[in-house]
Amino acid sequence: MNISDVKYIVIHCSDTPNEREHTAADIHRWHKEMGWDGIGYHFVIGRGGAVEYGRPIYWPGAHVRGHNHESIGVCLVGRDEFKQPQLSSLKSLVKALRNKFNRARVVGHRELDSAKTCPNFNVQEWLTAVESLNEDF
């Protein structure tokens, strides 16, 4: 994908039990087992806040029906309760991605696919909250 192709930065969750840690390598293995070419997300944020690379950005992801050709996928490990270090890494990553892809809108998966609840929190409310906490976000 070229920088100008990226219209969305899509936030996901791994939909795995909140108490369990997983890595990008685990998700890569699961997605291969589903018959995909490998991990469908571009970034994974572990429970402890570690940011790992998944699929390279030049390669369209496999994470959101109908929008893979125009989006970056970010996956938070967990289901519906995210840790402070994770959310703080998400904030830094989103900030960096918005600097690079300045035409992209940050959305939750469910905003682009009404059949989904992922990432199980309101990304727009989160964005508003972090933006009001930090003026140079």
Catalytic residues: 12, 41, 109, 116, 118
Show contacts with Zn ion in window 98-117 (CB under 5 A).
109
Secondary structure E strands in 68-136: 71-76, 105-108
- Closest contact distance (angstroms) between CB of 62 and Zn ion is 11
CA distance 93 to 84: 14
Largest CA distance in the chain: 44
By C-beta, is 91 or 109 nearer to Zn ion? 109
Identify which range of 4-12, 23-31, 84-92, 126-134 contacts Zn ion by CB under 5 A: 4-12
Single residue of 8, 9, 12, 127 touching Zn ion by CB under 5 A = 12
Rounded distance between C-alpha atoms, residue 92 and residue 95, angstroms = 5
